Structure 1
Amino acid sequence: MCTLMNCLGYGPHIRQARRDAYREADRLMNARWTGIITEITSGSKAEGLTCFLESDWDWMYVLEGIMCLENGVDSDKLPRETTVFTLNTGVCYHGHSRLNLLERRGDMIPSQMLDSLCEDENGRFLLSSALVVDAVNSEWASMGNEILHERAGPSIPSSLGPLHTDNVISLRCHCPGILSRWAERTRHWPPPDIVHKVVTMGSFVTPVGFRGSEYQHLEWRICFNTGENELMSSLNNTQVYIYVLLKMVVKDVLKPVKKEITSYTVKNIVLWLAENNPQAQFNESSLFYWLREGLEKLRTSILKIELPYYMIPERNLMAACGLDEGQKCTWVNTITDMMNEGSHTLLRLPRIRKAIISHPEPLVWYNTKRVEMELLQLKLMNREIQCKDENGVVNWLDPMLQAILSRMYELVIEVHKRMNREGSRLNDLIEIRIMMLM
């Protein structure tokens, strides 16, 4: 099973190559936007767990010059040009806050932020999450060739051809109290150096309130994207494979329609498993045991409508998930059946089933070509950024770009020829390239 997971693109080397490439892309983009906005790749791309076009890209755009502080934190050490908001968590559901009491207005506050200020019942300024998203959405709608889609939580989804992105505006947040409570927990994992690193990375607030709250249009959610990326990178192979398999279960077996359960739900289950159990117990020979444990945790979360958020346990990730009783019973029964099937439950997962059928020679041959194609695509992505002028025009005559594109064409031709030999009549080379990157 671990060999199959490696062939499918979840091995440690390709994961690291993806993480490195997306970090470099962020660095190159942020060098162009110094002092205005900072781009951070999040989600499965930052974790190195999906191919280039396999799933949506999650991008967080951090507005610079604004800081949100936990109550009691001194703002005097911040530069005077920084606009400071204070977190008012007492009136919101756990893990959420109002950006209350505009403490001081700096020099760099964007017009969207100024236009999104409103007053509470006491005449104090609040920053409305709903107004911020509306303002940013309107601005993005007038830019570029991307197609914008309906808002999803804090995200403004967009697409450009086969590339789909979730774009989230966020603000930096300094909440040492929350992070210290997380850091001081008794745990098996992560090790102290990773705990310290996560604490130093701080947090963010994103413009989405608690679902069902009367004041959700004013509320912001506290999140730890960069810290969670670091945590996911420090999981061992077995823990990563459990995470991937559980995500497949949710997507391909349970098939939620309204995001009652998401990959983020699964991520938190795996993080809790890692923290509460000795690392040495997570190895290749115990993969199916831990997969069953993960399924049991998922079943319990659905049954009780309860799953503590790993960073802020008081926040229930299943609260207001919209899961009705009929759907809950169906999913609980399905997961129970899977737990009783043992290793045969993997045959329910289309990608695993196809890999088992095609293993070893066709799968290994194709995976070699697919991995090379993806690595070339990642190099192409970053080289394109380097070859753009101030107007965003790419110099396609660059020798490195030409070499990358030439080798990608050769790979597509190789795959096309083998497909034809084995009975396929697909002749669209562009479509084949897209399929290799999905």
Structure 2
Amino acid sequence: MVAGSTAEGISQPYSRDSDIDIMTVLTNMIIYENFPDTKSFKKGGYVLQMERDKVVPGYTMIKCIGMKSRNMPYISQIAKLKNIKLFEKDGCYFLRHCCDVHNFTDLRNSQTYSQTKRRRNGDHENFEMHSSGPAFNVNCETSKSKLKLNFDYVTAIPCFCLSHIQNWTHRTRHYGWPDKKLTSKLKNEIGYVVPVGFKGSRNFELEWRICYTGIEINLIHSLNETQIKMCVLLKMVAKAILKPVCKDITSYVIKNLVLWIVERNANEIFTPENLTSLVMLGLRSLRNKVNLRLFGSYMIPERNLFAGKITENEKAEMVRLLDEMLEEGPMFLIKFKELNVLNKAINETMNKPLLAK
């Protein structure tokens, strides 16, 4: 399945190097928060259980319940999966992920695999692949046509974590977004786990990050045009100006920022004439979160998106830069070489929709 900005239908004008996120879902496996009656499982599937007691919020280990021997059919079939290994810990089996760009053997420390292919027309295709978080990033560029394609591939396993969904569905909302009709629809959406552990954890390779990609896509689709434009402009500012200072200010961080802003403010303020003010509101909110190095994700608020990230130097530089932007207002754009691209995008966002049909 396609994920990220492409699936959300948001196009960033003039961005030639945006990644396309592709999620490969292992549909023959499913993970439950609480292990259900085994008689309900479909034949041929693997059913596993979350183990969240000893991990930080937003992550889980994946336990094979009741499996005592590596020779059992259930265990041996899982062991054949290319990018998932079994690990025995305290007498139980857990799924261990591995990052690899060759034949899904262990690739560590963001190693890179590169290859150049010569086409019949004389053009050269440069192919590069490296691990980045839970994903394999693939870059492909041709020497003559200068065509550049970037893909992020990530393996995901479906999961049901009822406590997360219930907390999200029932939390207090003062401004009616998302409304009860939408939350009622989305409460049945499954989540996913992706193969990356909490940075610095001694059980890093046994931990998997929990995400709610389907719910987030539907929430973005529910935003009005001004909210979509605010999201796009904040992503552009983050990519052009903030991310070179701190790589942790990602598109995902900005998406979470926008979802919180929409939930915590009255719908009446999201009008075209307020667009630049809304962008400044977003930057002010981001500044405060960076200063505290504390930012709860939208779907799992107890998960701090900045945990283990943003060094003291990055924090100081980011706060200084954001304070400078906030003091100058939208005119801060004139200081940066990306001005022409951003101005063109801003002018167009004022006059045409950015949400793909």
In structure 2, how many angstroms separate the alpha carbons of the residues matched to 1:182 and 1:350?
41
In structure 1, how many angstroms separate the alpha carbons of the residues matched to 2:49 and 2:189?
19
Please report how far the alpha carbon of residue 357 of structure 1 lies from its aligned counterpart in structure 2 after TM superposition: 7.1
1:278 correspondence with 2:259: no
**Match in the other structure for 1:320:** 308
1:186 correspondence with 2:172: yes
Percent identity over paired residues? 32
Please report how far the alpha carbon of residue 81 of structure 1 lies from its aligned counterpart in structure 2 after TM superposition: 2.0
Q: Any idea what the Cα deviations from partners look like across 1:215-254, whole Å, max 9, x if unmatched? A: 1111101011111111111111111121122112221122
**Match in the other structure for 2:98:** 130
The answer to which of 203-212 and 108-117 deviates more is 108-117
Alignment of 1:70-85 (within 5 A): 70-71=33-34, 73-85=36-48
1:42 correspondence with 2:3: yes
**Match in the other structure for 1:338:** 325
1:117 correspondence with 2:105: no
Greater per-residue helix proportion? 1
In structure 1, how many angstroms separate the alpha carbons of the residues matched to 2:331 and 2:245?
26
Aligned length: 325
In structure 1, how many angstroms separate the alpha carbons of the residues matched to 2:233 and 2:240?
10
**Match in the other structure for 1:167:** 153
Structure 1 alignment gaps of length 5 or more: 1-39, 379-438
Match of 1:235 among 201, 223, 227: 223
Please report how far the alpha carbon of residue 109 of structure 1 lies from its aligned counterpart in structure 2 after TM superposition: 4.7
**Match in the other structure for 1:294:** 282
For the 8 Å contact 2:197–2:203, the answer to whether it is kept is yes
For the 8 Å contact 1:86–1:103, the answer to whether it is kept is no
**Match in the other structure for 1:205:** 193
Q: Any idea what the Cα deviations from partners look like across 1:187-222, whole Å, max 9, x if unmatched? A: 231122221232222100000000111111111010
Q: AA paired with 1:208?
A: V
In structure 2, how many angstroms separate the alpha carbons of the residues matched to 1:226 and 1:358?
28
1:86 correspondence with 2:49: yes
**Match in the other structure for 1:329:** 316
Larger radius of gyration: 1
Q: State the Cα RMSD in Å.
A: 3.4
Residue 314 of structure 1 aligns to a residue whose secondary structure is coil
Task: Note closer, same or farther for the CA distance 1:189–1:359 as it changes in structure 2 (3 Å cut).
Answer: closer
Please report how far the alpha carbon of residue 106 of structure 1 lies from its aligned counterpart in structure 2 after TM superposition: 8.7
Please report how far the alpha carbon of residue 354 of structure 1 lies from its aligned counterpart in structure 2 after TM superposition: 4.5
The answer to which of 342-351 and 111-120 deviates more is 342-351
Residue 104 of structure 2 aligns to a residue whose secondary structure is helix
Task: Note closer, same or farther for the CA distance 1:63–1:231 as it changes in structure 2 (3 Å cut).
Answer: same
Please report how far the alpha carbon of residue 356 of structure 1 lies from its aligned counterpart in structure 2 after TM superposition: 4.6
In structure 1, how many angstroms separate the alpha carbons of the residues matched to 2:88 and 2:162?
27
In structure 1, how many angstroms separate the alpha carbons of the residues matched to 2:283 and 2:203?
35
TM-score with structure 2 length normalisation? 0.80
Task: Note closer, same or farther for the CA distance 1:345–1:73 as it changes in structure 2 (3 Å cut).
Answer: farther
**Match in the other structure for 1:266:** 254
In structure 1, how many angstroms separate the alpha carbons of the residues matched to 2:344 and 2:307?
40
Task: Note closer, same or farther for the CA distance 1:131–1:327 as it changes in structure 2 (3 Å cut).
Answer: closer
**Match in the other structure for 1:412:** none
Greater per-residue strand proportion? 2
Task: Note closer, same or farther for the CA distance 1:206–1:281 as it changes in structure 2 (3 Å cut).
Answer: same
Match of 1:158 among 138, 142, 155: 138
1:147 correspondence with 2:127: yes
Task: Note closer, same or farther for the CA distance 1:41–1:354 as it changes in structure 2 (3 Å cut).
Answer: closer
Task: Note closer, same or farther for the CA distance 1:280–1:62 as it changes in structure 2 (3 Å cut).
Answer: same
TM-score with structure 1 length normalisation? 0.66
In structure 1, how many angstroms separate the alpha carbons of the residues matched to 2:246 and 2:346?
35
Q: AA paired with 1:328?
A: K
